[in-house]
Structure 1
Amino acid sequence: MKTIKIILGIITALVLVFFVTGLLVKETNYKAQVSVNEPLADVFTTFNNTENVKNWIPEIKTVETINENVGKTGSSYKIVLDNQGQEITMTEKVVAYVPNEKVTLFFDAENMLKKDDYVFTENNGVTTITLNSSCRSDSYIMACMFPYFKSTFQNQDQGYLNNFKTYIENK
């Protein structure tokens, strides 16, 4: 009986920690970065061409333009992903677009709200892309989970940046 009480106490403590996480951590933030051996203008143009994105994010099935504004800011797209056999539809909105400097994207993927801020810099013909990303959720349970998946999100985005580097340098 004492063993059962100890086990139940441990389970209760873990559940409490999980639910308190959602109260304390409202947003999960992380960074990723890659250096590309190509000029800044080429990197920026290739990166922001919606037809190219499937070349470094293999999960993307389709990208459909909802509306595209002249200066890109405010443009929105419908993206369909194949996530291990499950189809996920999300919307992408361009929040900020400064040619050859920065692009900020906001994604609404069901219970995940994500902001990706990409900053482009060049030094001696090498372009560095720095991603500052933040994730949050309208769902309390998902908000409790995100901090525990921070490294997974970061590794996935780093992988996409590495895929982009390979794509543009071998094109």
Structure 2
Amino acid sequence: MKTIKIILGIITAFVVVFLATGLLIKETSYTTQIDINKPIEEVFETFSNSENIKKWIPEIKSFEVINETIGKTGSNYKIIIDNQGQDIEMTQRVIAYVKNEKVTLFFDAENMLKRDDYIFKEKNGITTITSNSSCQSESYLMACMFPYFKGTFQKQDQSYLNNLKTYIEERKPSIDNF
């Protein structure tokens, strides 16, 4: 009987800690970064061109323009992602767009609200992209889980930046880039 009480006490402690996580941590934030051996103009143009996104984020099944504004800020897109055989629909809104400097995107994807702030800098022909990301949830139980998946989110976003680097560095420059 004493063993059962100890086990129930341990389980209760884990449940309380898990549920307290959602009350104490409202947002999960992390940073990723990549250096690309190309000029900032080429990197930014490739990154910003919605036709290229499937080439560096392989899970994207479709990318549809809802509305696109002059200057890109305020533009909205509908994205469908294949998540291990299950389609997830999300919307993407461009919050900020400063050519060759910054792109801030906001995603709403079924209980996950995510903000990615991409900063572009160039030094000696090498472009550095730094992404500051934050995730929140509309669901309390999901909010309890997000802090425990921070490493997974960061690893996934880093793999997308690695894919972008490979795509940009390996592709042949188009005539438009000259």
Q: How does 1:17-166 map to 2 (within 5 A)?
A: 17-166=17-166
SS of the residue 1:95 aligns to: strand
Amino acid at match of 1:145: M
CA offsets, 1:53-102, max 9 Å, x none?
Answer: 00010000000000000110000000000000000000000000000000
Tell me, in whole angstroms, the C-alpha distance in 2 between the residues paired with 1:157 and 1:48: 16
The RMSD of aligned alpha carbons is 0.3
- d(CA) in 2 for partners of 1:71, 1:32: 26
1-side partners of 2:51 and 2:25: how far apart?
Answer: 36
Distance 2:142 2:78 in 1: 22
Count the aligned residue pairs. Answer: 171
With the length of structure 2 as denominator, give the TM-score of the two structures.
0.96
Q: Structure 2 regions of 5+ residues with no counterpart?
A: 172-178
Equivalent residue of 1:134, what SS? Answer: strand
TM-score, scaled to structure 1 = 1.00
Over 6 Å off, 4+ runs: none
Q: Deviations over 1:94-137 (max 9, x none)?
A: 00000000000000001000000000000000000000000001
Which runs of 5 or more residues in structure 1 are unaligned? none
Counterpart-to-counterpart distance in 1, 2:28 and 2:96: 21
Q: Residue deviations 1:10-36, cap 9 Å, x none?
A: 000000000000000000000000000
How many Å apart are 1:149 and its aligned residue? Answer: 0.2
Structure 1 residue 152: Cα displacement? 0.2
